[in-house]
Chains A and B, each alone.
Chain A
């Protein structure tokens, strides 16, 4: 177990250190990072199988153990490493020969690896305070990469990102402290008291009013990071201005990691308070997020912002799913996974489009299918997957989500979500229509070779289809087990 964990966590840390040490930038740094993440991916797969076979894994002394991996952690680790691998494989081409570019590339590899590392820490550590530390660290590491090319827009975006998320995450820490205060007030100081397993065990004896306040802080705090409306305002700016590889990581998995934190805390609070409390809050913020995300898509001029708002919408769906009982949680986790793959695919394709057209405006990107047949098709597939069409995975998770809403008797949620999904669908297809077809702008070179980035992204598409058409049994089982991490 420790060995696997080491293989999971060490490579990004090592790669980051390597990038710091090797100056000026050399191409092998990128390759080492990529291979490292591939190793991590292998480790996370190993973790999944171990967890599936032998239940949650942790260090010998249960109470004080720092690391604990159950199915939920393994699932998130899998998503993180998977998306990171895809992003890094595409990142190999980011380097350009001139000196300034090389410095930037080095910078990029330092912080991207650190970013991945902190995310992996966040999902495998069982001390809630240290989990907070790790998530806070993700803000710092990712904020450093956003203004890679220092334009006004990127500086503005990263400052907003940094400040809003720091404030938000500080509130999450306040919530953590409050919960800990309650624990200490009830049980006294116990080693490992901040481990969520211990917290959850003790939860029935804790004071509901205090835990409710704590959860309010935690939800706002981590919700800011997860992009739940109305705390989502940093998200479109940061996602649109970040290099696409980072956008892919942020949108695909960073939001999911923050949702993971909320899920962990929900399990603790639900043990003490009637679950309808957390469910209502999650439902409320989820619905607001879906509404805001959806209607921000209707009149949208920039395709990267469009993808970002779509993330807000999808995180809202995940939040709603978490509030809908076991089936809803299953749908939410499956949705998280699908969204990670689909959104990273879309952002990476969007990055290639940006590189060719040199604009983020939807109106100026025309004839995409003619200019870049492969990327255009991949982008279209990504969007179509995101709007929940079969045969892609998000169709299944949205299907289950609506089913969960109806099964739990929340017809209005099902109705509202479906109407909003229709609106989002129409808007995205409208924007997609405008981009894919028509006459290409004269300044843009037409034609594209099928390079290996395309192959990598095509593998993502393949995964989406497999998730949508067959939903392999091991994956389903892993998610079923993960649900127990959120709803005991």
Chain B
């Protein structure tokens, strides 16, 4: 375990942050899906790397699962959905691209500030990844808050899950397998339910614009 491991983790984590930022930058849903797929692949690769250097065989299984579920299955389902509803673009997000990117940089700084005290706690070679994981977490939260299409919000949510998975991998070298399975199951179920609801929304509102969902007030 040396510099290479640390470097790889840095690289992977930075890549995941970059994919999250792409969502803020691009406007088409297909691009989001691609970004998400890349992010999932990076996550899987990172998991495998940690497994390799940490000598934890279980993490290979986790990596494989990640790849299969988040790298292939979910993007495919998203793609189907996107094809079915046509290419509705994030034409007018609440926050425009420039400001979004600025805010994202502020969030990254915030994540670093937040992470500084606890980076000192650990001697793990992967500790550099922690603030990056936090950054991804905040950026994906920002995506969910600032984007209008239901499908974009789902992608933001999926990225949020990735961020937490990254946190778990780099911080603790993965949670126990049983827990991991449970989380996967939940993620899958959650995604499926969200998908069902997106169909519901499309059926009842004829749009995926979440702005239409503002009838219930007070």
Contacts and interface: CB of A to CB of B under 8 A. Distances in A.
Same complex origin of A and B: yes
A158 interface: yes
A36 interface: no
Contact of A158 (B144, B160, B197): B197
B90 interface: no
Nearest to A133: B182
A153 B160 contact: no
29 contacts: A127-B179, A129-B182, A133-B183, A136-B186, A137-B189, A144-B193, A150-B204, A153-B215, A153-B216, A156-B214, A158-B197, A159-B201, A167-B157, A170-B160, A173-B164, A177-B172, A178-B167, A178-B171, A181-B118, A181-B171, A181-B172, A184-B173, A185-B171, A193-B176, A194-B179, A209-B117, A210-B117, A213-B114, A296-B218
Interface in B162-205: 163-164, 167-168, 171-173, 175-176, 178-179, 182-183, 185-186, 189-190, 193-194, 197, 200-201, 203-205
Interface in A305-329: 305
A130 interface: yes
B153 interface: yes
Interface in A168-183: 170, 173-174, 177-178, 180-182
A144 B189 CA distance: 11
Q: Which of B163, B176, B214 has the most CB of A within 10 A?
A: B176
Interface of B: 114, 117-118, 121-122, 124, 130, 137, 141, 144, 150, 153, 157, 160-161, 163-164, 167-168, 171-173, 175-176, 178-179, 182-183, 185-186, 189-190, 193-194, 197, 200-201, 203-205, 210, 213-216, 218
A458 interface: no
Contacts of A484: none
Given A177-B168, A180-B172, A240-B216, A155 B121 contact: no
A173 B200 CA distance: 28
A434 interface: no
A21 B29 CA distance: 38
Contacts, number: 135
A160 B211 CA distance: 12
Query: Which of A151, A160, A170, A194 gathers most chain B CB within 10 Å?
Result: A170
Query: Interface residues of A: mostly helix, strand, loop or mixed?
Result: helix
A236 B137 CA distance: 27
A11 to B, nearest CB: 22
Given A152-B205, A163-B194, A181-B122, 19 more contacts: A137-B189, A140-B193, A150-B200, A150-B203, A153-B215, A153-B216, A155-B201, A155-B204, A159-B201, A159-B213, A166-B194, A174-B163, A178-B171, A184-B172, A184-B173, A185-B122, A185-B171, A189-B173, A240-B216
A174 B167 contact: yes
Nearest to A211: B118
A166 B118 contact: no
